[in-house]
């Protein structure tokens, strides 16, 4: 770990997990270290999972020139463990969680602190905005902003302001975050959602503001998108098992629908009309997918990706559903998570 001695006590500490991000780490740090409107300095603590590419070299070079950057080793290479390592080193009274694959408005941290002070919320954040470069990123992002892909969570509405059940990334007073219990290190994915669920179940409040702006880079292929949402589905089961409660029905609808279709298909072996019901359901799904695709393309102005949007929607739904079912089976059987759900999906 490097801990520069020259920086005065920061107003806010940014905590960031990182692994093999040589293509993105410099642009992220340029964005995170260029924050404006703060009453004092910011520190950025990068928890690196022992990167094997040029990430560590880039981090060291920047840290030598900018004492606001702190680097800590994360030998476990999991997001939750890395975030907690960084959190324990943080000196700011306010903690902001950031992601290397996002860029942040210059007033991002200023607006986070303003929202904390104005609303009295335990956690604040902004909507899930996206920034795409290539074709498949645009397609995945266009579908991502549709209610049809993710069930209408408020953080997909760029204009919504108010109390929500979860936000993108998050910003907290450090004292409150320690009271809540930090991030659950047993979770490879969904650690943010699980933390927010704890806040809500403890009677706390989460606030979303459209003034808190960041832009996320979506997955650049259907394969990586499938792996990402397979893992989200899998680890959502672990969150449900831990709390013995479902935070939202949207978390179980994909898997429930898939089980229903598979069960009806099996019944069709003995009772043929069941296959007609399945066929009707598939046709209905395809129709809804086409309608959602047109609406998403219209809203996003991305007509070039319209032909592949039904495939992208299917990837979101099937990946999450199969991951959720796999998580249920592993939970019932007591099986340990395999590499397919523990390794990073990019």
Q: How many residues appear in the chain?
A: 346
Q: Is 182 exposed, middle or buried (0-12, 13-18, 19+ CB in 10 A)?
A: middle
DSSP E strand stretches across 218-257: none
How confident is the prediction for the chain on average, in pLDDT? 91
Report residue 260 CA to chain centroid gap. 28
pLDDT for residue 2 = 59
pLDDT in tens, 44-54: 999 999 999 99
Per-residue pLDDT at 6: 47
Which of 6-15, 81-90, 153-162, 231-240 bottoms out in mean pLDDT, i.e. has the lowest?
Answer: 6-15
* 138, 140, 144, 146: CA torsion to nearest 10: 80
- Could you give the C-alpha distances from 220 to 89, 171, 179, 212, in angstroms and in order? 34, 28, 38, 25
CB 129 within 8 A of CB 158: yes
Confidence of residue 90 (pLDDT cuts 50, 70, 90): very high
- pLDDT of 58 reads 97
Domain ranges of the chain: 12-218, 228-342
Tell me if the domain spanning 12-218 has CATH number 3.90.550.10: yes
Higher pLDDT, 52 or 244: 52
Cα–Cα distance for residue pair 236/191, rounded to 1 Å: 9
Quote the CA–CA distance of 330 and 237 in Å, as a whole number: 10
Hey, what are 161's tokens?
A: 């302001």
The DSSP code sequence of 251-297 is GTHHHHHHHHHHHHHHHTTT-THHHHHHHHHHHHHHHHHHHHHHHHH
* 126 — pLDDT class (breaks 50, 70, 90): very high
Question: Residue 113, CB half-sphere, CA atoms under 13 Å: how many?
Answer: 20
Question: Residue 143 in contact with residue 313, Cβ under 8 Å?
Answer: yes
CB atoms within 10 A of CB 107: 16
Instruction: Tell how strand 69-73 and strand 42-48 pair up.
Output: parallel
- What is the arithmetic mean of pLDDT over 241-254? 81
């Amino acid at each position: 770990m490097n801990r520069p001695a020259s920086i005065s006590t920061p107003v806010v500490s940014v905590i960031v997990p990182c692994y093999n991000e040589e293509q993105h780490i410099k642009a992220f740090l340029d964005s995170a270290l260029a924050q404006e409107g703060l009453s004092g300095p910011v520190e950025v603590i990068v928890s690196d999972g022992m990167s094997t590419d040029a990430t560590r070299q880039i981090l060291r070079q920047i840290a030598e020139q900018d004492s606001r950057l702190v680097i800590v080793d994360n030998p476990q290479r999991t997001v939750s463990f890395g975030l907690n390592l960084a959190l324990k080193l943080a000196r700011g009274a306010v903690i902001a969680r950031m992601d290397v694959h996002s860029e942040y408005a210059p007033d991002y941290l200023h607006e986070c602190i303003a929202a904390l002070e104005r609303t009295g919320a335990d956690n604040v954040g902004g909507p899930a905005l996206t920034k795409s470069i290539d074709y498949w990123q645009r397609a995945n992002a266009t579908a991502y902003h549709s209610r049809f892909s993710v069930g209408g969570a408020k953080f997909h509405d760029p204009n919504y302001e108010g109390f929500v059940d979860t936000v993108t990334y998050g910003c907290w007073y450090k004292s409150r975050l320690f009271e809540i219990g930090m991030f659950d290190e047993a979770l490879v994915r969904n650690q943010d959602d699980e933390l927010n669920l704890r806040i809500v179940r403890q009677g706390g409040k989460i606030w979303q503001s459209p003034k808190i702006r960041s832009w996320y880079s979506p997955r650049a292929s259907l394969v990586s998108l499938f792996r990402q949402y397979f893992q989200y589905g899998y680890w959502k089961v672990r969150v449900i098992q831990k709390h013995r409660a479902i935070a939202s029905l949207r978390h179980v609808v994909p898997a429930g629908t898939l089980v229903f279709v598979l069960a009806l298909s099996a019944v069709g072996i003995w009772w043929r009309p069941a296959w007609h019901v399945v066929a009707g359901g598939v046709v209905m799904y395809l129709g809804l997918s086409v309608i959602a695709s047109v609406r998403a393309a219209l809203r996003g102005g991305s007509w070039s990706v319209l032909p592949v949007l039904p495939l992208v929607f299917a990837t979101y739904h099937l990946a999450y559903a199969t991951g959720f079912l796999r998580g249920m089976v592993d939970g019932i059987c007591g099986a340990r998570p395999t590499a397919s759900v523990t390794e990073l999906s990019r």
